[in-house]
């Protein structure tokens, strides 16, 4: 009997695997499907629980010893691959600025991992990390839950959240085959270590497969499958289609004017977003942008629009799309992860992708969303270490985004003058970079959007045989 356990960790995983066709496809491939959720059960109220079982996981709170071994593992991984700009940058930004007890411990970890960061030492740190919580009450509750359900395969929809390490430990101890999906295009070449060791891996592209085998040499190539990503599957699903006129009416947009969409990062890396929005809005007002345009700003799903109040007051003509992601649980160590998208928001985003004329963002994954629809994209990086703004220019050197810049599928604006010039050119010649955009999508997503969920479910079923 094929029994699939699916670990949903956060709102983005919910979007990828609940709001795509994945559950339907998995239900056809497996006799039973159980969701082990890091979100509260209330987040799944639209799912018929007669077909899909949902088990809310007890929230694991990391102890001091577990934290130490995890930090050792993650920093050692970054040290081992510090020749990659993103890894080195995360090392620099993660280095403590004070001398609190925890900060001093982190500094000690930084010191000895500078010299000791072999794969063997990293795996030792992971072994000690898992040993530290092996007898924790939460780990035992996970084990009891799995023994009761007896899944024949467990699938983690995200490879990194450290608070799920005890659940992975329980799966491994019970000798249940376990797989994971590499969550995002930047995770392997710039982020820290995975939460643990998996048997099988699902990846977006041949590029991501090569990265996985490089950064994790213990992984067997035959256990890695290129499937694309369900992140973009709603863009080809009938249920998320909307009429153009309905959206114009909803957001009070003028159908006779072209539309610029600025999509924000969250406050941690998008500190220059208000400045860029102000530049665009001012240029529209004083007609530095030669085309008759309107501006819609889509904020990050991880936050509300509070930090943009001054810009909203100064430019009431800006249209705002604040994503309707619902906070399902407060008082969580990563509260942003507890936001889940609404169907309305998926429709709003798809409409933007289909109908706006130009997207502007700060090196975001949203670049790929718009490239999928063959829309011009400008990446703004106004800050550096000399001008006093948040240094977002450093992201141009991250491995995953350097490929985008080098491909010429987007343009990069490092100041207001460059931005206005590039806006005018993009609006005048929207198809100029069509070939480069297609090439970048083919590089980053090696399979078609349609059928993504079916490919994933079929692969998991094959791994279950």
Give one DSSP letter per residue of 354-395, joined into a string.
HH-SEEEESS-THHHHHHHTT--EEEE----TTTSS---GGG
For 307, the token pair is 């930090």
Q: 31-42: per-residue pLDDT in tens?
A: 999 999 988 888
Q: Per-residue pLDDT for the chain (465 aa), expressed as one digit of tens each?
A: 899 999 998 888 999 999 999 999 999 999 999 999 988 888 888 787 667 999 999 989 999 999 999 999 999 999 999 999 999 999 999 999 999 999 999 999 999 999 999 999 999 999 999 999 999 999 999 999 999 999 999 999 999 888 899 999 999 999 999 999 998 998 898 888 999 999 999 999 999 999 999 999 999 999 999 999 999 999 999 999 999 999 899 999 999 999 999 999 999 999 999 999 999 999 999 999 999 999 999 999 988 899 999 999 999 999 999 999 887 777 666 666 788 899 999 999 999 999 999 999 999 999 999 999 999 999 999 999 999 999 999 999 999 999 999 999 999 999 999 999 999 999 999 999 999 999 999 999 999 999 999 999 999 999 998
Rounded to whole angstroms, the Cα distance separating 442 from 301 reads: 26
Are 160 and 14 in contact by the 8 Å Cβ rule? The answer is no
* Torsion (CA) 138, 143, 149, 150 in degrees, nearest 10: 160
Rounded to whole angstroms, the Cα distance separating 380 from 376 reads: 13
Are 204 and 189 in contact by the 8 Å Cβ rule? The answer is no
Task: Label residues 146-164 b or e (16+ Cβ within 10 Å = b).
Answer: beeeebbbbbbbbbbbbbb
Are 275 and 389 in contact by the 8 Å Cβ rule? The answer is yes
Picking from 171, 184, 185, 222, the residue whose alpha carbon sits closest to that of residue 201 is 222
Are 155 and 177 in contact by the 8 Å Cβ rule? The answer is no
307: DSSP letter: G
pLDDT value of residue 192: 82
Q: 88-127: per-residue pLDDT in tens?
A: 999 999 999 999 999 999 999 999 999 999 999 999 999 9
> 36 — alpha (psi -120 to 50), left (phi > 0) or beta?
beta
Rounded to whole angstroms, the Cα distance separating 226 from 224 reads: 7
Rounded to whole angstroms, the Cα distance separating 155 from 208 reads: 19
CA 11 to mean position of chain CA atoms: 10
For 455, the token pair is 């490919």
Crossing angle of the two packed helices 273-285 and 416-428, in degrees rounded to 10: 60
Task: Label residues 186-222 b or e (16+ Cβ within 10 Å = b).
Answer: bbbbbbbbbbbbbbbbbbbbebbbebbbebbeebeee
Bridge partners of 321, per DSSP, are: 298
> 363 — alpha (psi -120 to 50), left (phi > 0) or beta?
left
Bridge partners of 8, per DSSP, are: 37
Per DSSP bridges, beta strands 178-181 and 358-361 are unpaired
Query: H-helix or E-strand containing 295?
Result: strand 293-298
Bridge partners of 5, per DSSP, are: 34, 154
Bridge partners of 297, per DSSP, are: 262, 320
Longest distance between any two alpha carbons in the chain, whole Å = 67
pLDDT value of residue 9: 85
> Model-level pTM?
0.94
Rounded to whole angstroms, the Cα distance separating 251 from 264 reads: 18
Are 124 and 193 in contact by the 8 Å Cβ rule? The answer is no
> Residues 6 or more apart from 225 whose CB is under 8 A from it?
200, 201, 202, 203, 459
């Amino acid at each position: 009997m094929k029994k699939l356990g699916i670990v949903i960790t956060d709102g983005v995983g919910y979007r990828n695997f609940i709001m795509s066709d994945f559950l339907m496809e998995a239900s056809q491939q497996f006799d039973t499907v159980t969701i082990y959720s890091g979100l509260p059960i209330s987040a799944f109220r639209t799912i018929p629980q007669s077909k899909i079982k949902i088990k809310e996981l007890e929230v694991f709170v990391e102890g001091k010893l577990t934290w130490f071994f995890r930090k050792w593992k993650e920093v050692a991984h970054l040290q081992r691959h510090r020749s990659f700009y993103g890894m080195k940058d995360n090392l620099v930004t993660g280095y403590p600025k004070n001398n609190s007890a925890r900060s001093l411990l982190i500094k000690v970890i930084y010191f000895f991992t500078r010299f000791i960061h072999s794969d063997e030492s990293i795996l030792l740190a992971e072994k000690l990390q898992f040993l530290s919580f092996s007898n924790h009450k939460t780990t035992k509750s996970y084990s009891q839950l799995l023994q009761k359900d007896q899944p024949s395969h467990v699938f983690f929809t995200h490879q990194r959240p450290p608070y799920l390490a005890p659940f992975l430990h329980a799966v491994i101890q019970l000798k249940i085959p376990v797989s994971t999906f590499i969550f995002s295009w930047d995770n392997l070449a710039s982020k820290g270590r995975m939460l643990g060791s998996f048997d099988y891996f699902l990846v977006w592209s041949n590029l991501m497969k090569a990265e996985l085998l490089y950064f994790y040499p213990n992984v067997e190539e035959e256990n890695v499958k290129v499937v694309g990503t369900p992140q973009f599957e709603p863009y080809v699903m009938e249920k998320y289609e909307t009429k153009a006129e309905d959206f114009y009416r909803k957001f009070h947009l003028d159908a006779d004017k072209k539309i610029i969409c600025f999509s924000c990062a969250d406050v941690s890396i998008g500190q220059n977003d208000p400045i860029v929005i102000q530049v665009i809005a001012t240029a529209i007002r004083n007609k530095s942008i030669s085309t008759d345009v309107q501006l819609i700003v889509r904020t990050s799903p991880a936050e509300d629009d509070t930090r943009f109040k001054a810009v909203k007051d100064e430019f009431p003509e800006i249209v705002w799309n604040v994503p309707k992601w619902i906070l399902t649980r407060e008082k969580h160590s990563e509260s942003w992860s507890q936001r889940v998208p609404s169907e309305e928001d998926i429709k709003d985003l798809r409409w933007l992708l289909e109908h706006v004329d130009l997207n502007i963002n700060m090196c975001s994954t949203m670049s790929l969303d718009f490239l999928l629809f063959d829309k011009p994209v400008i990446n703004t990086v106004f800050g550096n270490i000399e001008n006093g703004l948040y240094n977002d220019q450093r992201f141009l050197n991250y491995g995953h985004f350097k490929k985008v810049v080098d491909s010429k599928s987007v343009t990069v604006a490092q100041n207001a003058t460059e931005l206005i010039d590039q806006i005018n050119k993009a609006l005048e010649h929207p198809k100029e970079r069509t070939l480069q955009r297609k090439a970048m999508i083919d590089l980053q997503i090696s399979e078609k959007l349609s059928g993504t969920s079916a490919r994933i479910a079929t692969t998991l079923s094959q791994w279950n045989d």
